[in-house]
Amino acid sequence: MRFVRQDQGSVRPGARYRQDVLLPLAPSWDVEVERITAESITRRFLNGMFEGGETVSLKENASGIEVDYVMNYRVKGTFNRILWNLIFCRLHDANIEAILSNLKKFLEKKD
């Protein structure tokens, strides 16, 4: 997965990114930061195979940092639903696990 910033400046509501799945003929889409708090960031899907959005939240607890990921989505179109169920859902879940695991390790090393 590659995230490419589409505008300049700080990460803030309204900032846009292009997300590309790094596989031949794989999907890509644009997202916009919808909300940022001290503990989370929420992005909304602007186009592509999904409607909805995703939120990454961080919470410190006794054992370290808890990283939560929630994706509220609907897959648009019959062809996209077939591809999602056959291929992309498993890839997405594995990719999210790797991204969040690395984020957690990075944050715990900063303390």
CA separation for the pair 27, 52 (Å, rounded): 16
Reference 30, options 19, 38, 41; nearest CA is 19
Q: How open is the CA angle 81-94-36, to the nearest 5 degrees?
A: 85
- DSSP letter at 88 equals I
Which of the residues in the chain have pLDDT under 70? Answer: 111
**b/e map 1-30, b = 16+ CB within 10 Å:** eeeeeeeeeeeeeebebebebeeeeeeeeb
CA separation for the pair 79, 24 (Å, rounded): 17
What tokens appear for 102 in the block? 């690395």
CA separation for the pair 9, 31 (Å, rounded): 16
CA separation for the pair 39, 30 (Å, rounded): 23
The predicted structure's pLDDT at residue 111: 58
The predicted structure's pLDDT at residue 25: 77
What tokens appear for 86 in the block? 């056959």
